[in-house]
């Protein structure tokens, strides 16, 4: 039982930290990633569409928030299961 609980807690913590990290990278580095990926080989000047920048900003944020929500859901299910077994 203890091993299962430790394993579940490690999954919950890793989901939360991974989601937080992905969300941080989306907000902090999304613009830079879009600029780097849209640069043609050998170009000194180029433009990057607003949609491409927005996609590299908000898609990681959506994935990160989804992982955070999954960690909250799993921790709630684990807590409810723990409460029911103690009764």
**84: pLDDT strictly greater than 90:** no
Q: Name the average pLDDT for the chain.
A: 90
Number of structural domains, the chain? 1
DSSP 41: T
**CA 32, 37, 39, 40: dihedral to nearest 10 degrees?**
170
18, part of any domain: yes
In Å, how far are 33, 37, 50, 61, 73 from 65, measured between CA atoms?
Answer: 19, 24, 22, 6, 12
| Structural domain span for residue 76 | 10-81
Whether residue 69 lies inside any domain: the answer is: yes
Give 72's pLDDT tier (boundaries 50, 70, 90).
very high
Q: Which pLDDT belongs to residue 74?
A: 92
What confidence tier does 87 reach under pLDDT thresholds 50, 70, 90? low
pLDDT at res. 1: 58
Confidence of residue 44 (pLDDT cuts 50, 70, 90): confident
- Say whether pLDDT at 33 is over 80: yes
Mean pLDDT of 24-53: 91
């Amino acid at each position: 039982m203890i091993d299962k609980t430790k394993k579940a807690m490690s999954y919950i913590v890793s989901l939360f930290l991974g989601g937080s990290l992905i969300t941080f990278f989306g907000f902090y580095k999304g613009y830079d990633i879009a600029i780097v990926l849209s640069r043609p080989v050998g170009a000194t000047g180029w433009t990057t569409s607003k949609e491409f920048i927005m996609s590299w900003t908000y898609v990681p944020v959506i994935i990160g928030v989804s992982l955070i929500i999954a960690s909250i859901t799993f921790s709630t299910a684990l807590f409810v299961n723990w409460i029911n077994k103690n009764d």
